[in-house]
Amino acid sequence: MPYGDWSYFMYVIPALLITIAADIYVRSVYRKYSSVRVESGMTGSDAARMVLSTHGVNDVVIDHVKGDLTDYFNPTDRIIRLSDNVYNGATVSAVGVAAHESGHAIQYSEDYLPVKIRSVITPVTKYGSMAAWPLVLLGVLFEFRPLAWIGVALFGAAVLFRMLTLPVEINASRRAIASLSGGIITEEELKGVKKVLTAAALTYVASFAATLLTFLRILSVARGSRRR
């Protein structure tokens, strides 16, 4: 069997299975708590504004975007974009997701260190991960090992990015939960928010694991060139 085939079964298929399983789980939890309304009638957009206001962040715009689970914070424009169901939804899922995105906005306002480091390596990650495989394959094809190892190093930046994403996401969720505590929502609703955000965090763990497995495959291909 060709060398690359084994690495495909060892690394790529497990990475796909991990990613798919995490996505199915987070959507299941999200759907469950999307049917649980908060007693106060607070919508996702209300929750986002409340969390920002609590931390004195007043320069962030809250807007909505089409799609499902397409919520994100754009630090360049200082805009939190919430999907329609989150922006207008008065549910446990909507409140939790919106508060989480506000947590990211607060991180940037407070110069949270992992966010600053991640921002620095983002350009390398964006273009380096795309160039990694071609460089490794060309290095192997022409038996020019330095080129292959440059590809490995570039993809290594993607692994570092995913690794830094974990504390960033966990910290944003902790900020969200802390802001929603103290009677903003009921204790039972807060438990639901924690479950939604924990499920979401698992997708980032899965993403890191998948990226790491891809890196190991690239590494195995590059090391294979040494044995040729």
Active-site pick, 101, 110, 143, 169: 101
Q: Collapsing DSSP states into helix, strand and coil, what is residue 125?
A: helix
The pair of structure tokens assigned to 34 is 């999307």
Please classify residue 194 by burial: count the beta carbons closer than 10 Å to its beta carbon, then call 0-12 exposed, 13-18 middle and 19+ buried: middle
Which amino acid, 6? W
Backbone angles phi, psi at 42, to 5 degrees: -65, 130
**Which burial class, exposed, middle or buried, applies to 45 when counting CB atoms under 10 A from its CB (0-12, 13-18, 19+)?**
buried
Those residues with Cβ within 8 angstroms of residue 47's Cβ, 6 or more apart along the chain or in another chain: 94, 95, 98, 99, 102, 180
Cβ neighbours of residue 14 closer than 8 Å, sequence gap 6 or more: 213
Annotated active-site residue 101? The verdict is: yes
CB atoms within 10 A of CB 76: 6
HSE, side-chain direction, 13 A CA sphere, residue 155: 26
Length of the chain counted residue by residue = 228
Active site positions, annotated = 101
